[in-house]
Amino acid sequence: MVSLVMDGSAGESRPTWEIERLAGALGGVGDGESPAQVRDLLALMPVHHRAVLVLRELEGIDERGAAELLGVAPGTVKSSRLHQARSAFRKAWQQ
């Protein structure tokens, strides 16, 4: 997880079902979409967006735990970073 969160390089090591789960959780991603496309999109996102998406959506870490790992307030994870990251993912996916 750490290298995917930090630099996007470990996307290939994530099981396909986890990538599909992330895509489904973020909405706007149709059935049959390539997990590689999702990984590629995550790799292009800013690290602070990618990190919060991976921690919350893939790893299932709660807001408090994600905030601690990211060094930010729990409210920042919930109301700011996660919302922005999900929006950015959806927008980039639709392009």
CATH code for position 71? 1.10.10
Rounded to whole angstroms, the Cα distance separating 22 from 25 reads 5
Q: What is the pLDDT of residues 35-66, one digit of tens each?
A: 778 888 888 999 999 999 889 888 889 999 99
Q: Which pLDDT score is estimated for 20?
A: 65
Number of structural domains, the chain? 1
Neighbours of 48 (CB within 10 A): 16
Q: Which pLDDT score is estimated for 1?
A: 43
Q: 71 near 81, Cβ under 8 Å?
A: no
pLDDT > 90: percent of the chain = 24
Judge residue 2's burial from the number of C-beta atoms within 10 Å of its C-beta, 0-12 exposed, 13-18 middle, 19 or more buried.
exposed
- Supply the mean pLDDT for the chain: 76
Regarding pTM above 0.75, the answer is no
Residue reference for tokens 């290298």: 3
Domain assignment of residue 84, given as a range: 2-94
